Amino acid sequence: MGSLPSKVGQKISHQPVLLKEALEYLNVKKGEKYLDATVGGGGHAEAIFKKGGQILGIDFDPEAIKAAREHLSQACPSRQSSKKLVETTASWRLAQGNFAHLKEIAGKEGFLPVSGVLFDLGVSSYQLENSRRGFSFRSSALLDMRMDPTLEVTAADLVNALGKKELARVFASLAEEEHSRRIADAIVRARKNKPIRTCRDLADLISGVVSQGRSRLHPATKAFQALRMVVNDELNNLRQALPQAAEILKSRDRLVIISFHSGEDRIAKQFLRSEKDKRLKILTKKPLRPSAQEIESNPRSRSAKLRAAEKR
Ligand code: SAH
């Protein structure tokens, strides 16, 4: 997809991950309904639209909905869900909400049943790079990380309130951070003097106790990821959403899940296995990975895994 305008004026671009593969597995058919559970900036949605699908795009971040609306208005003009056209041609519409309630949201939009459901999990480049949102290491913004601004607990609340053991458990279990105890210890020591407020406060604190090693990633990458997962309740949302996705699909239609870390992928894998002899047929024996070329041109794709299944 192209560049999205941000509030601070810079252009941020988000390239849809595993786009060709996602389209192939969704097997988009003209005029059929596709639920994009994580519409983000609308990159995958645009491609589904261009294949003739009707899209309902969901996102719990109102800024993502706004960005998707701007992008799709330009990239997919003229047929914007005029009621008359909905039944017959490509169209798109957007709904703000948590995909943990996707059946209810799709029902309210009169969008059931569907011919495909896509999850492209995690954060968008738009969210990561928008320094106000509190995801990026160098930002002097508050350590926030809420994708849905109605959520009550920020990442700063967590690092200032959780006990040392709990913090270490979060870092180790959600992001496989090997220095989890050392980081938790440093956080608890630092906050005795003053609360940890900004992204940079936390990132510098972690850089001070964990060296970068051979990885090109910032030493705070995993800790930030783990906090983001807790703030947004990411694994529980996915656990709740997958059975609903399987339920609202029509027979022979497809579910595609793109995940970005082992916790998400495990949930996707276990869910597909648990449904294997029931509602779903697994189409990807092993998850698909992006090519070296895609990783090179879009580093966000480096940890992506795509799994797909067909409703029986
Ligand atoms: N496929 C999109 C990018 C998606 S990025 C594109 O090509 O542009 C992932 C998006 O999922 C983010 O915008 C994030 O806000 C959203 N998201 C994450 N968890 C969600 C949830 N539980 N409910 C709704 N949206 C969610």
Q: What is the pTM of this model?
A: 0.93
What's the rounded mean pLDDT across residues 219-237? 97
What DSSP string describes 232-282?
TTHHHHHHHHHHHHHHHEEEEEEEEEEESSHHHHHHHHHHHHHHTTTTEEE
List the residue whose alpha carbon is closest to atom 16 of ligand 1.
Answer: 38
Q: Give the pLDDT band (50/70/90) at residue 130.
A: confident
Cα(138)–Cα(135) distance, rounded to whole angstroms? 9
Which protein residue's CA is at the shortest distance from atom 23 of ligand 1? Answer: 98
* Whether the predicted pLDDT of 87 surpasses 50: no
Q: Candidates 15, 17, 60: which one to mutate for ligand 1, based on the most atoms within 8 Å of Cβ?
A: 60
DSSP-H helix ranges across 142-261: 155-161, 164-175, 180-193, 199-209, 221-231, 234-248
Q: Is 222 left (phi over 0), alpha (psi -120 to 50) or beta?
A: alpha
Contact between 67 and 57 under an 8 Å Cβ cutoff? The reply is no
pLDDT at 128 over 50: yes
Residue with CA at minimum distance from ligand 1 atom 6: 43
Residue 245 in this model has a pLDDT that exceeds 60: yes
Distance 219 CA to ligand 1 centre (A): 25
Q: Percent of the chain having pLDDT more than 90?
A: 83
Determine the Cα–Cα distance for residues 67 and 3; give it in Å rounded to an integer.
10
* Closest listed residue to residue 151, CA positions, set 169, 134, 163: 134
Q: Which atom of ligand 1 is nearest to the CA of 233?
A: 22
The CA 190 to ligand 1 mean position distance, Å, reads 33
Confidence band for 83, pLDDT divided at 50, 70 and 90: low
Q: Which atom of ligand 1 is nearest to the CA of 15?
A: 7
Residues contacting ligand 1 via CB (< 6 Å) = 1, 14, 16, 38, 40-44, 58-61, 64, 98-100, 120, 122-124, 147, 237
Q: Enumerate the β-bridge partners of residue 96.
A: 59
